Amino acid sequence: MRRTASEILNGLEMRVARLERTANTRRDPRKVGPRTLVDQNEDAQDILDLAQGAGFRGAKIQYQGDNPVVVLERNHYIFLTDKGYEIENPQGGSTFTFKFGDVKHHIQSEGGSFGGSEIGMESMELTPTFEDVHNLLTADGGYMGERWQRASNDRFIGGDYLMNVKLTRMGIKFSLTGPDLKRGESISEVRGMVKGDDRMEQLEALSQRLDAIAMAAGKRKSKSRMRALKALG
């Protein structure tokens, strides 16, 4: 049975009240050690509830790699890590805190001036996901003509090639290991980082960088074959 708007709001108000009562007793990573991903995801949901109660109606949870990020509005984020919380505000600059109470205070103090801004929230994506990278590698028959599979969350294998990826707020860091990547080396590694303002720009930049690497590798492979044929002749 579908709940009414008043029932939803009442439930949200009760949850926010509970969070306010327990904010000061929340786990402190300085005392109990690094927080797990389970802890981080629970905190992210609690922060989302607080944000929506403070007027950030378009707030949502996204992910930077495995770590949750609460998007309050455009250019206004709360990044959760095993060590604490990093708050990036729309005026520029960021602050780090160990305390959940500091995050709650920030949301409540900013809600009146910034809360409720939903311009472009539906179309905005913060960073690519590992699934995005996997889709890029497997598109059009597979990068380098290989069948790519995920060996782990951030590692991909395609034939003789291995690719590691790290997703950050600034862009995508990657390393590609395999044959013909560098002149005169049978097996070598290429490292790089691509940047972009949003998910699509970062993926497009990664695609262009990988295409350039593949083109150069193809030329080296072709030259190696020609030299081998001449030697046979």
- pLDDT for 5 equals 58
Q: Is the pLDDT reported for residue 107 higher than 50?
A: yes
CA distance 121 to 73: 7
For residue 175, count other CB atoms closer than 10 A to its CB. Answer: 14
- pLDDT for 206 equals 93
Averaged pLDDT for residues 75-98: 87
Q: Is the pLDDT reported for residue 112 higher than 50?
A: no
Q: Is the pLDDT reported for residue 23 higher than 60?
A: no
* Of 137, 179, 145, nearest in space to 160 by CA: 179
- pLDDT for 30 equals 60
For residue 12, count other CB atoms closer than 10 A to its CB. Answer: 14
CA distance 59 to 57: 6
For residue 196, count other CB atoms closer than 10 A to its CB. Answer: 17
- pLDDT for 10 equals 60
Averaged pLDDT for residues 134-147: 90
Q: Identify the weakest region by mean pLDDT among 77-91, 117-131, 140-154.
A: 117-131
- Bigger pLDDT: 197 or 2? 197
- Bigger pLDDT: 6 or 78? 78
CA distance 14 to 16: 5
What pTM was estimated for this model as a whole? 0.49
Residue 118: partners with Cβ closer than 8 Å, 6 or more residues away: 57, 58, 73
- pLDDT for 34 equals 78
Give buried/exposed letters for 15-40 (b at 16+ CB in 10 A, else e): bbeebeeebeebeebeeeeebeeebb
> For 195, phi and psi rounded to 5 degrees?
-125, 165
Q: Is the pLDDT reported for residue 194 higher than 90?
A: yes
Highest mean pLDDT among 6-15, 94-103, 204-213: 204-213
Query: To the nearest whole percent, how much of the chain has pLDDT over 70?
Result: 77
* Structure token digits, residue 181: 């990547």
Taking the alpha carbons of 122, 120, 7, 48 in that order, is the dihedral positive or negative? positive
Q: How confident is the model at residue 19 (pLDDT cuts 50, 70, 90)?
A: low
Q: How confident is the model at residue 119 (pLDDT cuts 50, 70, 90)?
A: very low
Highest mean pLDDT among 98-102, 112-116, 155-159: 155-159
